[in-house]
Structure 1
Amino acid sequence: MTTELMMVIAQENLKAHIEKEKEKEALKDLINPLQVWIASASAPACYHLIPILTSGEVFGMHTEISITLFDNKRAEERLEALVTETRELASPVLRSVSICTKVEEAFRQAHVVIVLDDSTDQEVHSLEDCLRSRAPLCRLYGYLLENNAHDSVRVIVGGKTFVNLKTVLLMRYAPSIAHNIIAVALGVEGEAKALLARKLKTTPAYIKDVIIWGNISGNNYVDLRKTRVYKYESAIWGPPQYSHPVLNLIFDSEWLKKESVAILRNLTATGKQFRGILAAHSISTTMKYWYHGSPPGEIVSLGVLSEGQFGIPEGIVFSMPVKFENGTWVVLTDLKDIEINEKIMTRMTSDLIQEKLVALGEVIDFQPYKSGNLLDVMFYWAAIKTVLKHLL
């Protein structure tokens, strides 16, 4: 074969290769990646969240994603550094990563929106100021979600301050997608499992069905009546699916009623642990369940809009037991023996109703529920101090 003929064949091969690559790109563009937006992306949790999202664990190894980091202009340098690190992960499911600091462009064609803890430019000096400062941002986000996001967008709200309130405000200002907005409660659930595991000298992953009721980042109730521990070393053994009720293994009633409650409330009030890793894991696990279903037979805690289940007042976002299946969740209203004491219910719902009314300007002063319990009073003031410290 002459050199001239080889050159002709080479040119033909190159042309065929280029055409084939163009066809591949055209087909690729037809399969749009999942558009994932992270709001308040300069928050510490985002740094831990991105590697999980790009691992393929959440949406699946066959689902390509594009991540957009949304925050204000002041955070641009930090976001650029985050973009560089994300690209260096060389994830097979990551199509692109970019930043957005222009409010009007936020949530453009978003399929998934993750709302992290945000800061506010407003000056706040009281709890009422903190509550009222949530409304303008949620109103803005609601407007952007309604106008820019995909019709089937899924919104997941996480963080350590006013999680229930932010969720119900987003529902109010984005009514067409309200059914697709949820609040993450798995962080509090994880803290409770870890505390129980330390007490029982076992692994937190072996503890299932802890129910978190109420205000995720405030007055809540950790319900252990359905909680079970698997693979527990005791006189009675069974197959892997065999479990013991946790309440049958902890004989220290004083610890259950007071010490454990005080520890968990302190964690909620200070937000000491719910910052980076725990927040990221809780959000990503909830999202994975939303897309692929929760483990069969397992109870999951989730903040959703109350429709009167369990005697909870309608119109507030309340953490309650659910299961995920077929791309949505179902509230487990058929669980037996989980009626909530009226006093506990009043304590939880009273503050949530007050938060919402103050944030919307319908009530001027926040009047917290006072049970006369010293622990409740201590929790209330610790929570206020933490919120103010976080926002000032």
Structure 2
Amino acid sequence: MLSEQMLRIAKENLQTHIEIEKEEEYIKSLINPLQVWISSASAPACYNLIPLLANGEVFGMATEVSIHLLDSSHYKEILHGIVMEAEDLAFPLLRSVSMHTELDDAFVQADIVILLDDILFQHEIPSLEDCIRQVTEQCKVYGSLIEKNANSKVKVIVSGKTFVNLRALMIMTFAPSIDGQNIIAVAMFLENAAKAMLARKLNMNSAVKDVIVWGNISGNSYVDLSKAKVYKYDSAIWGPPNFSRHLLDMIYDGNWVRSEFAFVLSSLSSWGHHCLGMSPAHVIATVLRYWYQDSPPGEIVSMGILSEGQFCIPEGIIFSMPVRFQDGSWEVITETEISEETQEALKRLAHDLIQVIGKFTFPPPSLSSSQTLPERESNPNTQREN
């Protein structure tokens, strides 16, 4: 019956059904907290990340979380100290904090897995081939464990400064049952650094948006300013809060953009650049908040995702490109127009990334139950191109 009255009843029934489902999800969230696993948990980024995950702003004020810290036994005392300090925060939404140094229990029932840098440095910086071998072995172990122990709809965030795109691709390879849509590489660190540099150049607070990072996040990348906008700029032109101006119309120093700006950003993705973990933690928390509560309407977010041929980028590689988060998922902003210059840059970046992928080996995943997390050196002091 398609009468107007029946259509109204159907609409009301649908709305009631949606409200009941939301109520059930809310009750379930109170019974079963969100299980969050963080690898390399002794790193400064993890220390700064825990309060951001537990204060309710990322997942919502109705979602409790249980945080699991994973690292080698060499860092057991550091992990114990982090657990005690996190418990002392007394966040109402933090159900529990636990430490893990054995691989057998890694990622059990994980809803979210955050992979910080896991490259295994010895006392001296190894060769590129050694780094590739170590990264492959680590991703093989983690991918197999995620496949075996995590929830089927687990969300995996790959962060850090070493082979970020390729680590995400290998996690997909060794965890084949996990939806590729749920494995992403974080590019917002470079995106935010670019916004901050541009804001300082304009002598203003950081109110720059829609900067796009293309390509290999921890290697050869291209920062695209063609869509960048500036808000709240103090000048003779005034407008409402949503009024913006094109950034390239306001920066007249093209040489600065091509030289100093590009050089500083390239150095940020090098192994020799260190930070205390505040920025990576903020970036990871922001990505998770967008994933669970949507990104701001109309705003572009750079993210390393599996290419399906968008923008003529070869399929099957992890490539940073513009996305938006909506309804618990993300989608590529394919309507983004790119210039011929940018298209040529994308071809070059894709070619370089494929060449690096060719150096990696993807052996069949296997895992010994007696394996333990190897020790790692977290302070490399030599810069290499990755």
Q: Would you say same fold, with TM above 0.5? A: yes
**Cα distance, 1:119 vs structure 2:** 3.8
Aligned to 2:49: 49
CA deviation vs aligned residue, 1:73-119 (integer Å, no higher than 9, x gap): 11111100000000000001100000111101100000000000114
CA deviation vs aligned residue, 1:323-353 (integer Å, no higher than 9, x gap): 0001010000111245554542243223321
Aligned to 1:68: 68
Aligned to 2:383: 386
- Distance 1:361-1:184 versus aligned 2 partners, 3 A rule: closer
1:38 aligns with 2:38: yes
- Distance 1:62-1:190 versus aligned 2 partners, 3 A rule: same
**8 A contact 2:119–2:162 mirrored in 1:** no
2-structure distance, mates of 1:69, 1:320 = 30
**Cα distance, 1:267 vs structure 2:** 1.9
- Listed as ranges, the matches of 1:284-363 within 5 Å are 284-338=285-339, 341-360=342-361
**8 A contact 1:160–1:274 mirrored in 2:** no
1-structure distance, mates of 2:144, 2:171 = 9
Aligned to 1:282: 283
**Cα distance, 1:314 vs structure 2:** 1.2
- Distance 1:98-1:307 versus aligned 2 partners, 3 A rule: same
1-structure distance, mates of 2:120, 2:256 = 39
1-structure distance, mates of 2:265, 2:251 = 17
Amino acid across the alignment from 1:386? Q
**8 A contact 1:132–1:358 mirrored in 2:** no
2-structure distance, mates of 1:346, 1:384 = 32
**8 A contact 1:43–1:118 mirrored in 2:** no
- Distance 1:313-1:187 versus aligned 2 partners, 3 A rule: same
2-structure distance, mates of 1:337, 1:152 = 33
1-structure distance, mates of 2:131, 2:322 = 29
**Cα distance, 1:182 vs structure 2:** 0.4
1-structure distance, mates of 2:42, 2:250 = 43
Which of 179, 182, 185 is the matching residue for 1:180?
182
1-structure distance, mates of 2:342, 2:68 = 44
3-state SS, counterpart of residue 245 of structure 2:
strand
2-structure distance, mates of 1:30, 1:63 = 7
2-structure distance, mates of 1:229, 1:182 = 28
- Distance 1:281-1:171 versus aligned 2 partners, 3 A rule: same
Aligned to 2:84: 84
3-state SS, counterpart of residue 177 of structure 2:
helix
**8 A contact 1:161–1:387 mirrored in 2:** no
- Distance 1:311-1:271 versus aligned 2 partners, 3 A rule: farther
2-structure distance, mates of 1:29, 1:250 = 48
**8 A contact 1:310–1:339 mirrored in 2:** no
**Cα distance, 1:72 vs structure 2:** 1.2
Give the share of equivalent positions with the same residue, in percent: 53
Aligned to 2:231: 230
**8 A contact 1:183–1:304 mirrored in 2:** yes
Amino acid across the alignment from 2:137? P
**8 A contact 1:305–1:318 mirrored in 2:** yes
2-structure distance, mates of 1:290, 1:167 = 17
2-structure distance, mates of 1:29, 1:313 = 40
Does 114-123 or 301-310 show the bigger shift? 114-123
Aligned to 1:203: 205
User: Which structure has the larger Rg over C-alpha atoms?
Assistant: 1
1-structure distance, mates of 2:201, 2:121 = 43
CA deviation vs aligned residue, 1:205-256 (integer Å, no higher than 9, x gap): x110000001111110000000001010122111111011000000111111
- Distance 1:319-1:267 versus aligned 2 partners, 3 A rule: same
Amino acid across the alignment from 1:186? M
2-structure distance, mates of 1:82, 1:310 = 44
- Distance 1:286-1:29 versus aligned 2 partners, 3 A rule: closer
Gaps of 5+ in 1: 1-26, 363-382
Amino acid across the alignment from 2:383? T
Aligned to 2:158: 157
2-structure distance, mates of 1:340, 1:183 = 25
3-state SS, counterpart of residue 238 of structure 1:
coil
Amino acid across the alignment from 1:194? A
- Distance 1:28-1:323 versus aligned 2 partners, 3 A rule: closer
3-state SS, counterpart of residue 162 of structure 2:
coil
**8 A contact 1:133–1:359 mirrored in 2:** no
Which of 190, 194, 197 is the matching residue for 2:196?
194
Amino acid across the alignment from 1:289? Y
Amino acid across the alignment from 2:63? T
- Distance 1:357-1:274 versus aligned 2 partners, 3 A rule: farther
**8 A contact 1:187–1:274 mirrored in 2:** no
Aligned to 2:369: none
2-structure distance, mates of 1:78, 1:242 = 47
2-structure distance, mates of 1:247, 1:273 = 30
**8 A contact 1:159–1:274 mirrored in 2:** no
2-structure distance, mates of 1:91, 1:338 = 48
**Cα distance, 1:269 vs structure 2:** 2.1
**8 A contact 2:162–2:271 mirrored in 1:** no
2-structure distance, mates of 1:29, 1:60 = 11
Higher RCO by CA contacts (8 Å cutoff, separation 6 or greater): 2
TM-score of the pair, normalised by structure 1: 0.83
Does 314-323 or 259-268 show the bigger shift? 259-268
**8 A contact 2:165–2:185 mirrored in 1:** yes
